[in-house]
A and B are shown apart, each in its own frame.
Chain A
């Protein structure tokens, strides 16, 4: 059973087609109709008398031929011919025909029957052909309707708005997306022209490029379309001319993209570096002003180009592979992570750049933002620094060599000072003494005083040389670092000092258990200098008290040596630690002014600080730290 698909606008239903009569039933029908006609004729003998009147049998033949076609018609003709011959043509009940008149009538019946059958068959065939044609036509129409349906569905389901206008620009079709995005109904759009949707100023600024469309080009442009409510919709239009002259436009709402672009664009423009946004295909999607300035290209010249255009030729070959590798595993790479490369300006010149990369997933796919910074100056500065460093290093080597020579000279100088300068002093002192002893009687009192001065000055100079040598030694001596018991050192020094002037009554208050890390010899010199000073400057004080201890000062452990002696004027404190600077007259307190300079050098060599607080006649306190205080 064959079925056809019949579709209405909204429903599909199935209908069976009437079946053709089988061939054998046609033949039975032919015989039956003919026999019925014969029986009817025989009943009408009264009317027609005995004349055969064969014309009556044309009826069943026509009927049969109509119903069954050639075969059935011929069966009816044959049945009629045989039965009329036998029952109606004299001699009756015989197949003989005696009269010519009857025979001619009989022949006419047969010929007429045959002719009717043939003609009917022909009619049937042409009818069948017609039916086939009609069927085919109907099927074609069905198919067309199907495809139109698909097309309509496609159009309706498209996310883009689709507008079709005739050659005069009058809309002939629009999909739901299309009229919805503009806030119109379908009918309203169909009553409008293309130009009704575009603001006048835009039309004037950028008229539709009809000539290009006629030339078969697809025009892609960004436009603004007027909505029914008067607002403007930013869209991307892709328009082309169909073969029939109609204009078909695909319209995409790019509100979101525009918003992103303006956001993103603002970001790009405000960036201090040249920003180059590249899509996954390696094409430059966006750049900022700084890029134009840095590379010497106009925006239009770069956007849409492969990013390799701003890379020196010698790197262009390998760059796409690296770019693809990055796209496959994108990660943020900040500046200064080894991305120091060369870039190429429009004029072909190259310059060194530092590049940071950051991937950005967008609706249009992965975008890679490259921040490009010209590091020419930095490179130059680095090169300069490198050269300066090299020069500096060379100079350090030279200076070190000079210093070594100077140190050797200094050592030699110290050595000869200690030997050669002291020997004559000893001579001056010795012979002055000899003079005093051997020529005592010949010298008057004044002469003896002069000689005494010669001796005391000589001794002072000897002391000065000794102090200077010590200062030099503490500056240059190699240092050992050990834990040194400062309390014990102070005790020993105090005992020694008391022996020098046993008649003095001095109270030493030494805090027990103080120790520090440092060079034992240097720390001993330092501490004994401070305590000797305290001892010396308390020489004119009654109830002398000298303290050594430790206090906390500004969160640090600080050692101190305190006395209640002569003190000094804090106005001159800045000169305190300078060699040869003295705070007191030689007639009050003898000294060389080297002791505190020595103290300061030793403390500085230990990474510490030394300072003093004092008041005239109220005593002095010397504070010091040693970096490695325990």
Chain B
């Protein structure tokens, strides 16, 4: 648990790489797990599919969730995270391109902890990631996880 894994759910490799770059530039050294679609993210979280057998008690400290994803979209993933006892308290930050009102509203309705729109300007993006890491991984008191 102390490893403080960050789960990045993002299908765009360029965005994945940029995020990784932004994290490293922000000196956030946490382990980054990347899943490229919603189904894979759920498999990772619940130890199913290609992540079968994974110790699901090893929960990520933070989930960075894109909304527009192949197969199962981000809102669906969020809904399942919030429905399941094991994952419902996990901090989920929506990290997406859209700031459509309906997306923002639905995300909060489904229990997102934060909503961040990725700026086009990379400098601003790095700033955002920096703040995000500082806040959620350092300042924020993580939720107590269920002992298994």
A: residues with CB less than 8 A from B are 414-415, 418-420, 422-427, 429-434, 455, 458-459, 461-462
Q: How far is the CA of A45 from the CA of B122 in the complex (A)?
A: 201
Q: How far is the CA of A204 from the CA of B123 in the complex (A)?
A: 121
Q: For A429, give its contact among B21, B100, B120 (CB under 8 Å).
A: B120
CB distance from B121 to the nearest CB of A (A): 5
User: Is there contact, CB below 8 Å, between A434 and B97?
Assistant: no
Q: How far is the CA of A459 from the CA of B121 in the complex (A)?
A: 6
Q: For B99, give its contact among A418, A423, A431 (CB under 8 Å).
A: A418
* Chain A to chain B: the 10 pairs with minimum beta-carbon distance, closest first: A462-B120, A430-B122, A427-B14, A433-B122, A430-B18, A422-B97, A425-B120, A429-B122, A419-B97, A418-B98
User: Is there contact, CB below 8 Å, between B98 and A419?
Assistant: yes
User: Is there contact, CB below 8 Å, between B120 and A458?
Assistant: yes
Known contacts A426-B18, A434-B21: A415-B122 contact under CB 8 Å: no
Q: How far is the CA of A418 from the CA of B103 in the complex (A)?
A: 12
User: Is there contact, CB below 8 Å, between B98 and A426?
Assistant: no
List chain A residues, Cβ under 8 A from B122: 426, 429-430, 432-434, 455
CB distance from A234 to the nearest CB of B (A): 92
A-B contact pairs, 9 of them (CB 8 A): A420-B97, A422-B120, A423-B14, A426-B118, A426-B119, A426-B122, A427-B18, A430-B122, A455-B122
User: Is there contact, CB below 8 Å, between B14 and A431?
Assistant: yes
List chain A residues, Cβ under 8 A from B99: 418
Q: For A418, give its contact among B12, B100, B119, B123 (CB under 8 Å).
A: B100
Q: How far is the CA of A431 from the CA of B120 in the complex (A)?
A: 11
CB contacts under 8 Å to A, within B105-121, are 118-121
CB distance from B85 to the nearest CB of A (A): 32
Q: How far is the CA of A623 from the CA of B99 in the complex (A)?
A: 31
CB distance from B113 to the nearest CB of A (A): 21
List chain A residues, Cβ under 8 A from B31: none
Binding site of A, secondary structure by majority: helix, strand, loop or mixed? helix
User: Is there contact, CB below 8 Å, between B123 and A433?
Assistant: yes
User: Is there contact, CB below 8 Å, between A426 and B100?
Assistant: no
Q: How far is the CA of A415 from the CA of B97 in the complex (A)?
A: 10
Q: How far is the CA of A423 from the CA of B16 in the complex (A)?
A: 11
Q: How far is the CA of A424 from the CA of B15 in the complex (A)?
A: 9
User: Is there contact, CB below 8 Å, between B14 and A462?
Assistant: no
List chain B residues, Cβ under 8 A from A433: 122-123
User: Is there contact, CB below 8 Å, between B14 and A415?
Assistant: no
List chain A residues, Cβ under 8 A from B97: 418-420, 422-423, 426
Q: Is B125 an interface residue when CB atoms closer than 8 A count as contact?
A: yes
A420, A422, A426: residue with the most chain B Cβ atoms closer than 10 Å = A426
User: Is there contact, CB below 8 Å, between B100 and A430?
Assistant: no
List chain B residues, Cβ under 8 A from A434: 21, 122
List chain A residues, Cβ under 8 A from B21: 430, 434
User: Is there contact, CB below 8 Å, between A423 and B15?
Assistant: yes
Q: Is B82 an interface residue when CB atoms closer than 8 A count as contact?
A: no
Q: How far is the CA of A432 from the CA of B123 in the complex (A)?
A: 11
Q: Which residue of A lies closest to B99 (CB)?
A: A418
User: Is there contact, CB below 8 Å, between A427 and B15?
Assistant: yes
Q: How far is the CA of A418 from the CA of B120 in the complex (A)?
A: 11
List chain A residues, Cβ under 8 A from B14: 423-424, 426-427, 430-431
List chain B residues, Cβ under 8 A from A423: 12, 14-15, 97
Q: For A462, give its contact among B12, B98, B100, B121 (CB under 8 Å).
A: B121
CB distance from A209 to the nearest CB of B (A): 101
Q: How far is the CA of A459 from the CA of B120 in the complex (A)?
A: 6
Q: Which residue of B lies closest to A473 (CB)?
A: B101
CB distance from A297 to the nearest CB of B (A): 76
CB distance from B97 to the nearest CB of A (A): 5
CB distance from A457 to the nearest CB of B (A): 11
CB distance from B117 to the nearest CB of A (A): 9
B12, B68, B122, B123: residue with the most chain A Cβ atoms closer than 10 Å = B122
User: Is there contact, CB below 8 Å, between A419 and B119?
Assistant: no
CB contacts under 8 Å to A, within B42-69, are 68
Known contacts A418-B100, A431-B14: A426-B125 contact under CB 8 Å: yes
Q: How far is the CA of A243 from the CA of B96 in the complex (A)?
A: 125
CB distance from A118 to the nearest CB of B (A): 154
Q: How far is the CA of A462 from the CA of B118 in the complex (A)?
A: 11
List chain A residues, Cβ under 8 A from B125: 426, 430
List chain B residues, Cβ under 8 A from A462: 119-121
Q: Which residue of A lies closest to B11 (CB)?
A: A423
List chain A residues, Cβ under 8 A from B118: 422, 426
Known contacts A418-B97, A418-B98: A426-B120 contact under CB 8 Å: yes
Q: How far is the CA of A462 from the CA of B99 in the complex (A)?
A: 13
Q: How far is the CA of A434 from the CA of B126 in the complex (A)?
A: 11
List chain A residues, Cβ under 8 A from B119: 426, 462
Q: For B121, give its contact among A419, A420, A427, A429 (CB under 8 Å).
A: A429
Q: Which residue of B lies closest to A416 (CB)?
A: B68
Q: Which residue of B lies closest to A428 (CB)?
A: B120
CB distance from B11 to the nearest CB of A (A): 10
CB distance from A215 to the nearest CB of B (A): 104
Query: Chain B 61-103 against A: per-residue CB contact (8 Å), 1 yes, 0 no?
Result: 0000000100000000000000000000000000011111000
B15, B97, B120, B123: residue with the most chain A Cβ atoms closer than 10 Å = B120
List chain B residues, Cβ under 8 A from A426: 14-15, 18, 97, 118-120, 122, 125
Q: How far is the CA of A432 from the CA of B121 in the complex (A)?
A: 10
CB distance from A521 to the nearest CB of B (A): 9
Q: Which residue of A lies closest to B103 (CB)?
A: A415
CB distance from B132 to the nearest CB of A (A): 16
Q: How far is the CA of A414 from the CA of B102 in the complex (A)?
A: 13
CB distance from A400 to the nearest CB of B (A): 23
Q: How far is the CA of A434 from the CA of B24 in the complex (A)?
A: 12
CB distance from B123 to the nearest CB of A (A): 7
Q: For B98, give its contact among A415, A430, A432, A461 (CB under 8 Å).
A: A415
